[in-house]
Amino acid sequence: MFDAMLDVLSEEASRPSARVLRIAAEGDRFCVGRERSAATPAATRREIARLIALKRAVRESPLVAVAEVQGDALGFGFGLAICCDFVVVSERARLGFPEMLFGLPPMAIMAYLGEYALPRHAFPLVLLGEPISAERALAIGLVNDVTAPDELAPRVDALVAKLLALDADAMRNCKEFFRLAQAGSFETNARVALDALVVASLAMRAKATSP
């Protein structure tokens, strides 16, 4: 599954054709962790590198990613959802990072968790390993929306419709610049924005005047 998802995301990164990535699951749970099969240091490194590569691919993809979380999301499952641009969660879902309960600090999660939640909220979440409610996750900035279970799919349908109503190129450019701006200074971002806005403005004018 990891390899298949990476192949699709790599293809879209090199030759964009779709516009929205919708990540959903079947059954009562979204994802409560990943399977661990590696037994040697080299195999363990490959296994962990692949899960980090998948999260990087979702974050950097030109697709706007939407996680539709219908049930519990723990460990890797919650981490993957957070990597998405929009996270819509059923109010019945439990969310968290239980790795420390098994003696494993969730380093891959901590690499980016602070971008979404303040340290005062993020550190207890990874240190104690206790699950939180969807409403709590919303309050600390880890999800975008919480809804009743039977309203989840329609809510995501409506969100996807809004996204698809946007100009495709503008939407991709918006995601790319927003992501890059998080790591840049104001001066750097402003210089990049000037050049990008000139190109985007001319393209918008060309579309408006084309027959």
- In this prediction, residue 151 carries a pLDDT of 98
CA distance linking residue 2 with residue 37, whole number of Å: 13
Q: Which of 41-45, 89-93, 116-120 has the lowest mean pLDDT?
A: 41-45
Say which DSSP state 62 is in: S
CA distance linking residue 77 with residue 69, whole number of Å: 9
Q: Are residues 150 and 175 in the same domain?
A: no
Per-residue confidence at 96, pLDDT binned at 50, 70, 90? very high
DSSP string, 147-210: E-GGGHHHHHHHHHHHHHTS-HHHHHHHHHHHHHHTTS-HHHHHHHHHHHHHHHHHHHHHHHH-
Per-residue confidence at 113, pLDDT binned at 50, 70, 90? very high
What is the helix (H) or strand (E) element at residue 45, kind and residue range?
Answer: helix 41-60
- CATH code assigned at 27: 3.90.226.10
CA distance linking residue 116 with residue 80, whole number of Å: 13
List the helix and strand counts (H, then E) for the chain.
9, 8
- Over residues 53-71, the mean pLDDT reads 96
Q: Are residues 152 and 182 in the same domain?
A: no
Q: Are residues 140 and 199 in the same domain?
A: no
Domain count, the chain: 2
- Over residues 177-184, the mean pLDDT reads 86
- What pairs with residue 73 in β-bridges? 31, 95
Q: Are residues 150 and 179 in the same domain?
A: no
Q: Are residues 184 and 138 in the same domain?
A: no
- What pairs with residue 90 in β-bridges? 147
CA separation, residue 78 to residues 149, 176, 180 (Å): 17, 23, 23
At residue 202, does pLDDT exceed 80?
Answer: no
Q: Are residues 153 and 173 in the same domain?
A: no
- Structure-token pair, residue 189: 């971002």
- Give the SS3 label for residue 72: strand
Q: Are residues 139 and 205 in the same domain?
A: no
Computed over every residue of the chain, the mean pLDDT equals 92
The boundaries of the domain holding residue 108 are 2-164
- In this prediction, residue 21 carries a pLDDT of 96
The answer to whether the CB of 124 falls within 8 A of the CB of 100 is no
Nearest to 9 by CA among 64, 73, 75, 67: 64
Q: Are residues 172 and 192 in the same domain?
A: yes
Q: Are residues 44 and 122 in the same domain?
A: yes
Q: Are residues 199 and 112 in the same domain?
A: no
- In this prediction, residue 91 carries a pLDDT of 98
Q: What is the largest CA-CA distance in the chain?
A: 64
- What pairs with residue 132 in β-bridges? 95
Q: Are residues 160 and 172 in the same domain?
A: no
- In this prediction, residue 132 carries a pLDDT of 97
Q: pTM for the complete prediction?
A: 0.89
Q: What is the pLDDT of residues 36-46, one digit of tens each?
A: 777 788 888 98
Q: Are residues 55 and 96 in the same domain?
A: yes
